[in-house]
A and B are shown apart, each in its own frame.
Chain A
Amino acid sequence: MSTLLIRGGRLLDPASGVDRVADVLVADGRIEAIGVGLGEAGVERVVDARGKLVAPGFIDIHVHLRTPGQEYKEDLRTGTAAAVRGGFVGVACMPNTSPVIDNAVTVTYVNTVAAQQGLCKVWPTGAITKGSKGAELAEIGEMKAAGIVAITDDGMPVENGETMRQAMIYAKQFNLMIMDHCEDKHLAGGGAMHFGKVSSLLGIKGMPAAAEEVHVARNILLSLETGAHVHIQHVSSRRSVELIRWGKAMGANVTVEATPHHFTLTDEIVMEMEYSTNTKMNPPVREAADRQAILDGLRDGTIDCIATDHAPHHVDEKEVEYQAAKFGITGLETAVGLVIDRLVKPGVITLEQMVRLMSTRPAELIGVQAPALVQGAAADITVIDLDRTWTVRAEEMASRSRNTPFIGWELTGAPYATVVGGVLRMEEMKVIG
């Protein structure tokens, strides 16, 4: 029985009504006691959390762990190492692997390897359609039985509205959320960045915001008709946020995530970084008004959660021409820093909102027990140093890939310790295990 004492931090778990300075004693994977001045007798390890924030463990419901088939980009060891280094106790991984996770056998494979190699919880998602080709439904029920937490054709959006409608009707009976990467590929037109002034100046083919908005609107309307739970992935545009706000007001079962890069950057970054392919992601970062709408949505609660869309790629796939480069950037190891530096410190959201956006709500969305700072709960805990100023460095990253535009950024606020199932997996941004 391993025991751990998290000493003297500010415990903040709004869902459990907890906001106090106290010690947390962890034993046997659970929170054994919460109190002031708990003794260290028999404790194997003490985490000094004085002056720090102790939160229910953070969960990222949108990551690409590239397993099976693309382990040269990331595997379940390196991906979960990046997760715990970034302060996450669990991640939901996307099924656009090679082969696609569209059947129970592949789901079981991911679960088995994750159990052997993973440093945090891994919840697989499954494809909506076979091979994510947008035609026939995947074995959604079989995959649910094998443990998936949602279905998605992330990266290869379901183009046919009727296919999506039937998928919603079918998924609903299994109580599965449909996560959708909203993109009309015809409107996106092979673009490599946001369509606007900057794409015009740089001579790069642009993707208009409407390419996302059209599918956001479609999905909301289909959700209203079918009652299925649709989750809009990585919202990027002002009108998408407005559509979702409208959909929620209409009673649609629609939820939405935003990424740190979409609330931090605009398309100007492509010019500032002179065509660096680490600014290429889909959906792209857009204009100031779009970024502001995402900030507003985070503040007013329209946006349910923060997810990273952690998308590792090999350097060979990024050290090419902008148009030829893969879409996607890594995000697990910079998310907490960006959330605190860009949202909490400037007063966009409160710490209570941060906990909801990064722990409680994402857990609810994928239907897993939300981490909580109460006696008897599973010990999934994220400790954060709100005041530490640090520089993002590629060589310190635990992910196998380093394709992020945030290298060299100085951020205030950093994950300090990650406890997964009672085991200390990270301390002072160093992975343990």
Chain B
Amino acid sequence: MAGLKRKDILGLREMSTEEIDLILDTADALKDIATRPIKKLPTLRGKAFVTLFYENSTRTAKSFELAGKYLSADAINISISSSSVQKGETLKDTARNLEAMGIDAVVMRHPMGGAPHFLAKHLRASVINAGDGMHEHPTQGLLDMLTIRQRKGGFKGLKVAIIGDIFHSRVARSNVFGLAKYGAEVWVAGPSTLLPAGFEELGVKVTTRVEEALEGADVVNVLRLQLERQEKALFPTVAEYSKFWGVGPERLKLAKPDHVLMHPGPMNRGVEISTSAADGEQSVILEQVTNGVAVRMALLYLLLGGGDAA
């Protein structure tokens, strides 16, 4: 299997469909490891990476850590509170110190858009973006795409509705950038204060009416609502948000009967998504989590030169 011809995974916007296909194919091939009795391949033995998280995360950090362990890479985890970003050691110094200790890749989450791009310019090691501010979350985008591809066989012509706080969402951006490359019909819906500028120019349909986005949708991706946005006067109350933009069984009747319902987690049940929808038959939320490990295994495998041992 040919490797990726890039050092870093910074976002889906700059990736080609060939690269994305390769990653998704690799993830499909590696996915079963997590369900085997012996969850271990020797592929990345002797490789080391660090998860460097400047924002809290359980799911993404642990998903990377497990992905590394299943492939026999050594992983260490570093959490730095985001409040220390501008006070403590500079990002460049932190990462270069880690590199000096011999690590092969840095998996980073950071509150500022473009931070991984900055880091990638200063490191020989690979940089994997695990979420940068409100920019991109490419591994989430890839795992969402893997889940859609498994369920729908592809992307072209699918109507994908992404519902919620689009403006601040790196998940929405990575999904939009990735899916648009394959000719999916991507809709984003949310309150006008949480919609981004300029998405129409990417061919994305933007609406404040969740019903319009849901009508005939093949895929419904509900984003987590950051409740602190309310304090910034972006919406009045959680109840009002839920009334106009919350996704539950009634609204989902607008979507195609065989739609899949996704959520990147963690969920605010009863706010952006109802429990009956989240746990319903169309929900693929836990498949997303499983695929997350697979996608991260694929990326570590492709970037850390595991090609020889496979």
Q: How far is the CA of A164 from the CA of B197 in the complex (A)?
A: 33
B115: nearest chain-A partner, CB-CB? A321
B198 touches A202 (CB 8 A): no
A249 lies within 8 A of chain B by Cβ = no
What mask results when residues 81 to 102 of chain B are scored 1 for a CB within 8 Å of chain A, else 0? 0000110001110000000000
Q: Which of A191-199, A223-231, A327-335, A425-433 contacts B (4 or more CB under 8 A)?
A: A191-199
Q: Which of B19-27, B28-36, B130-138, B139-147 contacts A (4 or more CB under 8 A)?
A: B130-138
B201 lies within 8 A of chain A by Cβ = yes
Place the interface of chain A in its size category.
20 to 34
A204 touches B92 (CB 8 A): no
B54: nearest chain-A partner, CB-CB? A321
B132 touches A200 (CB 8 A): no
A203 touches B85 (CB 8 A): no
- A199, A203, A205, A275: the one contacting B118 at CB < 8 Å is A275
B224 lies within 8 A of chain A by Cβ = no
A204 touches B133 (CB 8 A): yes
Q: A323: which B residues are within 8 A, CB to CB?
A: 111-114, 133
Query: How far in angstroms is the closest Cβ of chain A from B53?
Result: 15
Q: How far is the CA of A204 from the CA of B196 in the complex (A)?
A: 11
A170 lies within 8 A of chain B by Cβ = no
What mask results when residues 240 to 279 of chain A are scored 1 for a CB within 8 Å of chain B, else 0? 0000000000000000000000000000000000110000
Q: B170: which A residues are within 8 A, CB to CB?
A: 203
Most chain B beta-carbon contacts within 10 A, residue among A198, A202, A205, A321: A321
Q: A198: which B residues are within 8 A, CB to CB?
A: 198
Query: How far in angstroms is the closest Cβ of chain A from B107?
Result: 17
What mask results when residues 183 to 202 of chain B are scored 1 for a CB within 8 Å of chain A, else 0? 00000000000001111011
B91 touches A320 (CB 8 A): yes
Q: A206: which B residues are within 8 A, CB to CB?
A: 197
What mask results when residues 309 to 331 of chain A are scored 1 for a CB within 8 Å of chain B, else 0? 00000001001111110000000
Q: B118: which A residues are within 8 A, CB to CB?
A: 275, 320-322
Q: How far is the CA of A324 from the CA of B115 in the complex (A)?
A: 10
- A196, A203, A316: the one contacting B113 at CB < 8 Å is A203
Most chain B beta-carbon contacts within 10 A, residue among A195, A203, A205: A203
Q: A204: which B residues are within 8 A, CB to CB?
A: 113-114, 133, 135
- A196, A197, A275, A319: the one contacting B114 at CB < 8 Å is A275
B110 lies within 8 A of chain A by Cβ = yes
What mask results when residues 141 to 165 of chain A are scored 1 for a CB within 8 Å of chain B, else 0? 0000000000000000000000000
Q: How far is the CA of A324 from the CA of B111 in the complex (A)?
A: 11
B114 touches A202 (CB 8 A): yes
- A201, A202, A275, A320: the one contacting B92 at CB < 8 Å is A320
Asked if A321 meets B114 with Cβ closer than 8 Å, knowing A195-B197, A197-B197, A203-B135, the reply is yes
Query: How far in angstroms is the closest Cβ of chain A from B39?
Result: 35
Q: B196: which A residues are within 8 A, CB to CB?
A: 200
B117 touches A203 (CB 8 A): no
Query: How far in angstroms is the closest Cβ of chain A from B303?
Result: 19
Q: A320: which B residues are within 8 A, CB to CB?
A: 90-92, 118
B173 touches A203 (CB 8 A): yes
B86: nearest chain-A partner, CB-CB? A324
B13: nearest chain-A partner, CB-CB? A201
Q: How far is the CA of A274 from the CA of B119 in the complex (A)?
A: 12
Most chain A beta-carbon contacts within 10 A, residue among B13, B86, B135: B135
Q: A275: which B residues are within 8 A, CB to CB?
A: 113-114, 117-118
B112 touches A196 (CB 8 A): no
B91 touches A321 (CB 8 A): yes
Q: A324: which B residues are within 8 A, CB to CB?
A: 85-86, 112
B232: nearest chain-A partner, CB-CB? A189
Interface residues of B in 72-87 (CB under 8 A from A): 85-86
Query: How far in angstroms is the closest Cβ of chain B from A372?
Result: 48
B197 touches A200 (CB 8 A): yes
Q: How far is the CA of A319 from the CA of B113 in the complex (A)?
A: 15
Most chain B beta-carbon contacts within 10 A, residue among A202, A205, A274, A319: A202
Query: How far in angstroms is the closest Cβ of chain A from B94?
Result: 12
Kindly list 16 other residue pairs between chains A and B, CB separation below 8 angstroms, not including A320-B90, A321-B114: A195-B197, A197-B198, A198-B198, A199-B197, A200-B196, A200-B199, A202-B114, A203-B134, A203-B136, A203-B170, A274-B121, A319-B90, A321-B85, A322-B112, A323-B114, A324-B85
Mark B residues whose CB is within 8 Å of A: 13, 85-86, 90-92, 110-115, 117-118, 121, 132-136, 170, 173, 196-199, 201-202
Give the top 10 A-B pairs by smallest Cβ distance, nearest first.
Answer: A203-B135, A197-B198, A275-B114, A203-B113, A323-B112, A200-B196, A321-B112, A203-B134, A321-B115, A322-B114
Identify 29 residue pairs between A and B in the complex whose beta-carbon atoms are under 8 Å apart, listed by A's number.
A195-B197, A196-B197, A197-B198, A197-B201, A198-B198, A200-B197, A201-B13, A201-B173, A201-B202, A202-B114, A203-B133, A203-B134, A203-B173, A205-B113, A206-B197, A274-B114, A274-B117, A275-B113, A275-B114, A275-B117, A319-B92, A321-B91, A321-B115, A321-B118, A322-B113, A322-B114, A323-B133, A324-B85, A324-B86
